[in-house]
Every structure is written in C-alpha cells, then in structure tokens.
Amino acid sequence: MIGLDAKLLAVYTKLEAQIQSLKLKHGVDGAKGADGISIKGEQGDRGADGTSIKGDKGNRGADGTEGTDGTDGISITNAEVDFDNHLVIKLSDGTEIDAGEIAGSSGGDQYFRSGSSVNITSAGSSSQPKGTVVLDFGSGANTASLVVNDSSITSEHQVTVELSSVPTAEHPLHDLLFDPIRVSTYGVTAGVGFSIFGQMANAEANGTYNINWYAR
C-alpha cells in the first residue's frame, strides 16, 4: 500500500511537468507599422469685437474751504531827508530808520588799516570834524572795533556814530536797513582820536559796514 507522502509527491511531480509545458517562449518582434496620418482642421472665423460703454462724467467736487489771510509784510512807505541831512526811512508798520547822513564828504580822505579793520576818515571843519570808517567783522563775529585817528578832536567835542546806508561789497541796501548793528564810541582823546565798537545782537555779523561819525 502506497503511503500518503508518496501520493503527494507523485501529484506534485505531475503538476510541475504540466507547468513546465505551459511556459511561453518569447516570440519574434513583428514588423514596424506604417506612420499614421494626421489631418489639421481649417482656422475658424474671427469672433466679433466686444463693445465698451463709457460711463457718464461725475459731478464736480465741492470747493475747499478758503484759507486764512497771511500776515501783511513790511514795506517802505516813505523816504526823506531830515533837517540834519540824514536819510530817514519810514516803514508800513510805523517804524522809522535813520539811515545816516547822505551828503558827500569833502576831499582830503585818509586811508589806513587798524588791525584787521579798514579806516577811512574825511577831513571836516576844524569845529565839527566828521568822517566815515569801515568796520570789519571778518568772516563772522558778534563784535568788531577800530581806532579812528583824528588830531582835530578836542576835549569839548562829543563824538557820535551811526550805521551808514552806503552799501559795501558784502551788504546791499536792504541788509543795512534791517541788520541790528549797534555802534558806540569809547576812549575819546583830545588831539588823538577815539575808538568805535560794533555789535550784532544774538547772531554773528560778517564783512564790512560803513560807519558815519560826528564830533560836535
């Protein structure tokens, strides 16, 4: 009598033989087929242009609020020569500016330097000497001074000084009308002369200014 294992082995062997007989073999590649034919369709007609609609013009916007009036500027309302032969400028705000004597000086001008300042004096009468000097603040300074040599000054003379309205190379007329240059004298010596001191308050002055002086 055949055992169970032998029967199973016989079945397995038979199935293996059948499987081996069913295995496919690789066939020969077939010939390349002919290229296909493509057909391009005709271009379609152009579509109709679209339509645009322009909107109505909007209403005008409201006017803006009117601004406030600006502050009135200051202008020159009058200029006249007073009894002392000084040019007096009157401004629209009521201010008056004494721009100094406008009469030309006589001959005999003297020219010299005192330190960095140029000094020009004009010969006046023996009883009331006067002249014009140039006060130089250089490239920028609050104060400047110079010495005026005039032997005609006596112990009875009282010397006064003022900023002249005659322009200089650095300062046109409108500078001279508004620059707050304060000038004064000191060290008046009979038969010798005196000194002039100039000051610009709260700022630096620069360049030269003509200064008129009078001895009375």
Structural domain count, the chain: 2
Domain boundary (64, 84, 103) is at 103
Q: In this predicted structure, what is the pLDDT of residue 26?
A: 62
Tell me the per-residue pLDDT of 75-111, one tens digit each, with 9 for 90 and over.
777 766 665 667 777 777 777 787 776 644 443 343 3
Both 89 and 112 in a single domain?
no
Beta pairing partners, 200: 181
Sheet of 76-81, strand order: 76-81, 86-91, 96-101
Share of the chain above pLDDT 70, in %: 78
Positive/negative CA dihedral, 92, 93, 95, 97: negative
Both 99 and 151 in a single domain?
no
pLDDT above 90 (res 146): yes
In a domain, 56, yes or no: no
Both 112 and 167 in a single domain?
yes
In a domain, 67, yes or no: no
Both 124 and 84 in a single domain?
no
Domain boundary (57, 85, 103) is at 103
What's the CA gap between 128 and 154, in Å, rounded?
10
DSSP for residue 156? T
Both 119 and 149 in a single domain?
yes
Q: What is the value of pTM for the model shown?
A: 0.44
In a domain, 198, yes or no: yes
Q: Which residue has the tokens 């006067």?
A: 130
Positive/negative CA dihedral, 83, 87, 92, 94: negative
Spatial contact of 214 and 148, defined as CB atoms under 8 Å apart: no
Identify the domain containing residue 210 by its residue range.
Answer: 106-215
Domain boundary (103, 125, 144) is at 103
pLDDT above 60 (res 134): yes
Both 111 and 93 in a single domain?
no
* Residue of 131, 144, 119 lying closest to 207 (CA atoms): 144
Both 136 and 209 in a single domain?
yes
Both 119 and 170 in a single domain?
yes
CB contact set of 209 (below 8 Å; sequence gap of 6+): 134, 135, 137, 163, 164, 168, 171, 176, 179, 181, 198
In a domain, 11, yes or no: no
Q: In this predicted structure, what is the pLDDT of residue 141?
A: 93
In a domain, 1, yes or no: no
Please indicate whether residue 171 or residue 110 has the higher confidence score (pLDDT). 171
Kindly report the backbone phi and psi dihedral angles of residue 30, in degrees, each rounded to the nearest multiple of 5, phi listed first.
-75, 165
Range in 53-62, 108-117, 151-160, 205-214 with the lowest mean pLDDT: 108-117
The count of residues in the chain is 216
Both 98 and 167 in a single domain?
no
Q: In this predicted structure, what is the pLDDT of residue 83?
A: 57
Both 122 and 180 in a single domain?
yes
Tell me the per-residue pLDDT of 45-74, one tens digit each, with 9 for 90 and over.
888 887 778 878 888 888 888 888 777 777
**Mean pLDDT across the stretch 160-165?**
92
CB contact set of 133 (below 8 Å; sequence gap of 6+): 117, 118, 119, 120, 121, 146, 148, 196, 210, 211, 213
- Token code pair at residue 164: 């002249």
| Alpha helices (H) along 61-206 | 173-178
In a domain, 165, yes or no: yes
Confidence of residue 206 (pLDDT cuts 50, 70, 90): very high
**Mean pLDDT across the stretch 164-173?**
91
Tell me the per-residue pLDDT of 8-53, one tens digit each, with 9 for 90 and over.
777 778 877 777 766 656 667 777 877 777 777 788 888 888 777 8
Whichever domain contains 155, its CATH number is: 2.60.40
Both 163 and 112 in a single domain?
yes
pLDDT above 80 (res 125): no
- Token code pair at residue 180: 């707050």
Both 125 and 99 in a single domain?
no
Tell me the per-residue pLDDT of 174-203, one tens digit each, with 9 for 90 and over.
888 888 899 999 999 999 999 999 998 888
pLDDT above 50 (res 120): no
Other CB atoms closer than 10 Å to residue 122's CB: what's the count? 19
